[in-house]
Structure formats: structure tokens, C-alpha cells
Amino acid sequence: MSTAAAGLRARTDRAPAHRLARSAATPTGAFLSTDAFAQWLQGRARAHRFGVHRIPFADLDGWSFAPGTGTLGHRSGKFFTVEGISATTGPDPRTHWQQPIIRQPEVGILGLLAKEFDGVLHFLMQAKMEPGNRNLLQLSPTVQATRSNYTKVHRGADVKYIDHFVTPGRGQILADVLQSEHGAWFLRKSNRNMIVQTDEDIPLDEDFCWLTLGQIGTLLHHDNVVNMDARTVLACAPVQPTEDTALLPDTELRSWFTAERSRHDLRVDSIPLAQVKDWTHGDTSIDHVDGRYFRVVAVAVQAGNREVTGWTQPLIEPRGTGVVAFVTRRFGGVAHLLVHARVEGGFLDTVELAPTVQHTPDNYAHLGAADRPLFLDSVLNTDPSRIRYACLHSEEGGRFLNAESRYLLVEGDEETAPRIPPPGYQWATLGQLDSLVQHGHYVNVQARTLLAVLNSGAVTL
């Protein structure tokens, strides 16, 4: 009996990778030119009323601190809470800390709708306001919604295009994977990252535009234009591997990663927010006693094009600009990236693969060279001629205020990044990371931003 007669289908479809490669190689879209994009985005900003201002916690509408525990939550019991955790990663006192953290157990949808025009795959991108973005309006996926949003707990308008991602059979699924969020500020948070290709006629809302992957790659060279949610979804696109060889075969790389997960003993316990050690509670913020790391604040928001046009909420505000960098080298003519098996208190499974450097330098300014994170100083002091990519990108603007990181791809050498790296670090190819990102909780959100940069053709190693 033939496979067709038996109802069998191919296990994999190579066509999406070819369509994505063609889209990445197309710098001009069928509708909006890349040169005209900035004017279009400015026009969307002028079309709506946006505003964010800080308020005291007492002025939060619907939010309050729970008696006894101090948990900051919404009266509906939905959205998210700000709680306390106590985390330990080892016997050294420096590996124990307490902190506020966001708990948001519901899984949201980050979805990109794709369609071919003139034989080239385009993606439906949204000009979306997020209260934490320094410039407010950035380019987001087609759908960027928590379960509370798209089930309308807030009793607002429908989430546009959501049916393409929650109704089976509306298109070809190119990617669908649960991915983690920021493990330092979220407790075990996951979102469903989806790319769905459709052949339906799609009515175009005025705050949306169709762009090729090549156009998005060009925009990834501009500060604070493509938001974090768009970047993480793009990183999950099923691109074609760019190499056939690597320093470590795939099985050995996965074995190394499994060993890293096994050797770390992370314990995270929930504690009352009101009792978190070394954090002070004021009328307008919750701060670390040393003025480092981040603080919890409250804002009032106006957004004319959101499902709800006005609300208040807490946000986490980092203290300083982050630096996120992959150090790269070529071995046998094949480009590799130096990954870090990074432990974060909010990860679901202890360790995820992170960039070589993922730190906020201001948090370590008081430390001597021996106590500062590995590779941080060499990246900060890199000769500009070795920087292949540098751009400022916002982190999650729906939960973090003015959270920005300088993302870098930096060429290393044997002195700065040896072939045999220190414990906790390993060399991996882009193709290997693209394979691992098809599975949840392997590649962290910061690394996924740099994968999006590479997979969109913004940079070629």
C-alpha cells in the first residue's frame, strides 16, 4: 500500500526553510518599502494618543498589596502578580539571594501570520504600544496577547487576528514552541511562539503592515524598532542549517548541555514579598538597598489602539543598560558562537543556553577584575573593528520599564575566547542553535534575539 493510500504524510517539510531563505534575501516588500517604514511608523504614533506616567502604588486601580504576604496582584486574580522568592544555587553565600519577581503562570501567544505575495513570504507585523518601551511604539508580532487578553478578562476589544492561532486548520504551522521569558524577572514564564502561513484573504488593519524577512532584518539594525516578542518568534523560524560540520556533533552538544543541567542544584522557594531581604518598600517603588539590579514601580497608561485604552499596572525597571553578546570564531572555516549554560532563578529547568555575555555592567562596577563575570570586560573593551553587529533593543515592554540591552556579535580569538572554553561555556554553530530552538527551554530569550538577527540575514557570520 502506498503512503498516500495509507494516509501517511512526510514527517518534515523542507519547503518552509526555502521560503524563509527567499524572504530573507528580499530587501523590498510587495507593499511597504523599507525606506518608507519609518514614516509609516511615525504616522501610526501620531494617529493615537499614547502616554505613560509614574504613579504611587496607592493610585493603582484594581491592584493592591495582599495583607500579610505583601503580594502585589490584581483584584481579578488574573494578569500577573509580583511576589518574593528565595533562590540558592550552591553552598557559597554569594549563590543565595532573595528578590521580587513576576509570576504569570498563564501561557500567552506570540504569533506571526505569514503569507506569500509575488512568490515571497511576508509577515504581518503590528505597530504596538507597550508602556515599558522608552519610545512606546515598536514593531510587534501579529498577535501578542496573554490568555487574559484574548479571553477578554479586561472586557476590552477582541485581539485582532487571534483566530488564526487558536482555531485549528486556519493555515500551515511553520513554528509552534513554548519558550521561556526573562529568567531573572519572571518565575517560570512561558509563551507559545507561533508562525502560521495562510492563503486566506487578510483584511489589513491600519496598524499592521506586511514585511519580508529581509526587511525585518534591515530594521533590526535600528535601535528600539523590532520588539522582543517579534524577535523571539522570528528566532523559532525553521531555517535551513548553514553548515554540515561543527566542533561538537549534535549529540555531544546535547550531552554537554544535559550535564550542565544535571550539575546545577537550583532551589527556588516562594516567600512573602513583604519579607524579601535587602529590598525596601516605599510609596512609589520597591528598591534594592544598594541601588542595583532593578526596582518595582507603578504607572498609569493611555493607549488609543490597545484592546483597553487606559489602565494602571506595576512594572519592573532595571538599573542600567544591559550588554548581551555572542563571541564568535571560525573553526575549520565554520562559524561558531560561544554559548553559556546560564542558571537563572526563574527558569523552568535550571539552565538554558545564553549568549557569552548577558549582564548589566553597572551591577558589577563595585567588583574587582577577579570577581567580575567571565568575558564581560573583553566584550566591553573589544576593538570596534571586531564588532559585527551592535544595536540597542528593548526587552519585554509589557512588564519592564525602560529595559534596554546593547546586543552585540563580537569576533573573538584564542586569547579572548579559547577553543577549549572554561566550564559552563561551549562552542555551537548557528545551525545547532536553530535546531535546539525548535524545542522549548533550550535557548533563552536573549540568545533568541541574536538568532533572529542572524536568521533574518541582518548579519552573516
The pLDDT assigned to 152 comes to 54
Cell readout for 373 is: 563575570
pLDDT under 70 in the chain at which residues? 1-6, 93, 148-157
pLDDT tens digit string along 329-352? Answer: 999 999 999 999 999 999 999 999
Predicted local distance difference test score (pLDDT) of residue 241: 87
Sequence-separated contacts (24+) of 217-221 with Cβ below 8 Å:
217/24, 217/453, 217/456, 217/457, 217/458, 218/27, 218/34, 218/458, 219/34, 219/37, 219/139, 220/391, 220/452, 220/453, 220/456, 220/458, 221/389, 221/391, 221/458
pTM for the whole structure: 0.95
d(CA 76, CA 86) in angstroms, rounded, equals 26
pLDDT score for 153: 54
What are the b/e assignments for 279-293, b being 16+ CB within 10 Å? beeeeebbbbeeebb
Give residue 423's pLDDT. Answer: 97
Q: Output 25-28 pairs: Cβ under 8 A, ≥24 positions apart.
A: 25/214, 25/457, 26/120, 26/212, 26/213, 26/214, 26/215, 27/212, 27/214, 27/215, 27/218, 28/212, 28/214, 28/215
pLDDT at site 149: 65
Using an 8 Å Cβ cutoff, are 132 and 403 in contact?
yes
Q: State pLDDT tens for residues 24-77.
A: 999 999 999 999 999 999 999 999 989 999 999 999 999 999 999 999 999 999
pLDDT, averaged across the chain: 94
Amino acid at 350: T
Q: Residue type for 214, please? A: G
